[in-house]
Structure formats: structure tokens, C-alpha cells
Amino acid sequence: MIKDFVCINCPLGCQLTINYDGEKILAVAGNACPRGIAYVKQEFICPLRVLTTLIRVKGTDRPIGVRSDKPIPLQKLLICKDYLNHVEAIAPVQCGDILVKNICSTGANIVAASNSESKTLY
């Protein structure tokens, strides 16, 4: 069987085509560099994404941006997002602070992507 991908490892955006049988890749075509092969193998077997979202901060009126410190499996992305809907950080929060360790057993930590100062809501 054949499946197409667009490589996102560099600005070239190569149009990659794989020939596969079940879960085994038989051939890769269209890559301009070796990174394309590595990308398509990872994307085909277990796609990974960096999670970015907002979480509430106790003591403030604004949520802060957070992200995973490494990519997590795409199949666990919504599970992690749902978990973070119930997380509330405590102000003050500094950019880079680890807010959740090993989220949903993915090995990734959730870190603050911005600062949050302590501020009373009313």
C-alpha cells in the first residue's frame, strides 16, 4: 500500500511517499535529505506532537500558556489535554517552571511558556 506525507523537519517540505505492508515500511521516496526518512518512519509508526495549551492560575485572572518539554504520542494528546483542564497552577509562575511531571506517563513534563504574577481577582 502507498501513503503520502509532507516532511516538516526543514523548510523544503518534501512530498514523501511510502510503500508499506501492514506496519512495515518497504520503501520511502521523495526525500531530499536523510531527515525525511527518519521523520516519515516516526510519523508512520508513532506520530509525536508537542502539546501546547492554557491552564488556569490560582490567584490570577488570566490563564498561562504551557507546553510539553518534548513530543508526546499523538494518541495521548487529548488525554493529556483533558488532564490539564483540571490542573491549576499557583502564582507566581515563571517561564520554564515545571508544572506537571511525567504527564499521563508519557515521560514529558508540562512547563510554563510565560510568566504569571500573583494578582487578586477582585
Query: 56 and 38 in one domain?
Result: no
Three-class DSSP category at 53: strand
Query: 85 and 67 in one domain?
Result: yes
Instruction: Identify the domain containing residue 31 by its residue range.
Output: 2-45
Q: Are strands 88-90 and 52-58 parallel, antiparallel or unpaired?
A: parallel
> What are the pLDDT digits (tens) for 4-42?
999 998 899 999 999 999 989 999 999 999 999 999 999
Does residue 122 form part of some domain?
A: no
> What is the CATH classification number for the domain harbouring 68?
3.10.530.10
Query: 95 and 61 in one domain?
Result: yes
> What are the pLDDT digits (tens) for 79-112?
999 999 999 999 889 999 999 999 999 999 999 9
Cα 55 from Cα 70, distance rounded (Å): 18
Query: 63 and 104 in one domain?
Result: yes
Query: 108 and 75 in one domain?
Result: yes
- Count up the domains in the chain and report the number: 2
Name the CA dihedral angle for 83, 70, 58, 63, rounded to a multiple of 10 degrees: -100
User: pTM of the full predicted structure?
Assistant: 0.81
Query: 41 and 18 in one domain?
Result: yes
